[in-house]
Structure 1
Amino acid sequence: MRLDGPGGSEAWLIGWPPGTGTGWHDHADSLGAFMTASGELKENSLAARLPTDGWKTLELTDDVDRQRRLGAGQGRAFGRHHVHEVLNESPDRHAVSVHAYYPPLPQIRRYSRSGRVLRLEQVERPEDWQ
């Protein structure tokens, strides 16, 4: 569920059934933050600044992978072009999270990943998810 936030920001309330996730993606030029409200989420992210446009496939170095677990009440902020995936790995517990973005999401780029190869698969715009 999308909500208008203060100062031109936007917030999303997201429910995560057991075993669900976002897949690899970024939020283009938006700054963001999210917090787990209930349950536990896992974030896999890349500690690398990727080119913003003009590529379809990149080979990642071995040291770019980061993982963190965020239980209820824990969150994190991130900058522009942050590539990550968020997962509810629980086999039987739902999770809920709150996400905030500024400016509102102009697009989401979705990626596939096979080992060290990251491939741009799709670019979504707000009309695709609202």
Structure 2
Amino acid sequence: MPATPPQAAAPLSAPSPEVPVTSTPEGHFPEAPDPQQLLDFVRRAATDAELVASLPLDPEERTWLRLEGPGGSEAWLIGWPPGTGTGWHDHAESFGAFIAASGELTENSLAVRLPTDGWKTLELAEGVDRHRTIAAGKGRFFGQQHVHEVLNETAEHAISVHAYYPPLPHLRRYSRSGPVLRLEQVERPEDWQ
């Protein structure tokens, strides 16, 4: 798991109706999950009080547990002490979902698809920034190459559940100064496994 684990383009402000999902007797999807199935998975995991309570919390550093996601997806339970965050990043070719199980998170994202290769620095146009508050029980799913940062800007610990499909091939990390976005590094799964 990276020092700043993977996170999370359609907002979800209220629970959506449960989507029937065909599964095998072991509880695995017979085929690759879609974004709604990932959202349903993180929603169910976030309401599992025993699972959420099993996450060891640290007062200064984020903590995480790897979960078995549906259909071969990658999933994480993440603890967020006050003042922690991911920094700007994307999830490459993976789509995913996340939900706050407790506490409140802030998501800043870009409402624009960036070129995947051939650049180190981009100047962003006005109006591409999006800001969301993700309260306990709320979440969202997102598409491929979704660029965002997730933060705990409150005085209380937050816990969230995240799932990605396909499992993250890599994670691109960015720095940002005003409208300028700079690609800083690419992390591979072996960097956080």
- TM-score, normalised relative to structure 2: 0.66
Among candidates 7, 12, 28, match of residue 92 of structure 2: 28
What code does the residue aligned with 2:168 have?
L
| Cα RMSD, aligned residues only | 0.6
What code does the residue aligned with 1:114 have?
S
What code does the residue aligned with 1:86 have?
V
CA drift at 1:6: 2.1
Which residue of structure 2 aligns with residue 98 of structure 1? 161
CA drift at 1:97: 0.3
CA drift at 1:41: 0.2
Query: Which one has the largest radius of gyration?
Result: 2
Among candidates 132, 146, 149, match of residue 68 of structure 1: 132
CA drift at 1:2: 1.6
Among candidates 42, 64, 68, match of residue 4 of structure 1: 68
Among candidates 100, 103, 107, match of residue 170 of structure 2: 107
| 1:4-30 alpha-carbon deviations (Å, 9 max, x no partner) | 322111111110000000000000000
| 1:20-45 alpha-carbon deviations (Å, 9 max, x no partner) | 00000000000110000000000000
Structure 1 distance, partners of 2:68, 2:192, is 15
Report SS of the residue matched to 2:105.
strand
Report SS of the residue matched to 1:127.
helix
What code does the residue aligned with 2:167 have?
P
- Whether 2:103 is the aligned partner of 1:43: answer no
What code does the residue aligned with 2:132 have?
R
What code does the residue aligned with 1:26 have?
D
Which residue of structure 1 aligns with residue 121 of structure 2? 57
Structure 1 distance, partners of 2:166, 2:117, is 19
Report SS of the residue matched to 2:114.
coil
- Give the structure, 1 or 2, with the largest relative contact order (CA under 8 Å, sep 6 or more): 1
Structure 2 distance, partners of 1:36, 1:116, is 28
Larger helix percent: 2
What code does the residue aligned with 1:85 have?
E
Question: Runs of 5+ in structure 1 lacking a partner?
Answer: none
Q: How many residues align?
A: 129
Report SS of the residue matched to 2:71.
helix
Larger strand percent: 1
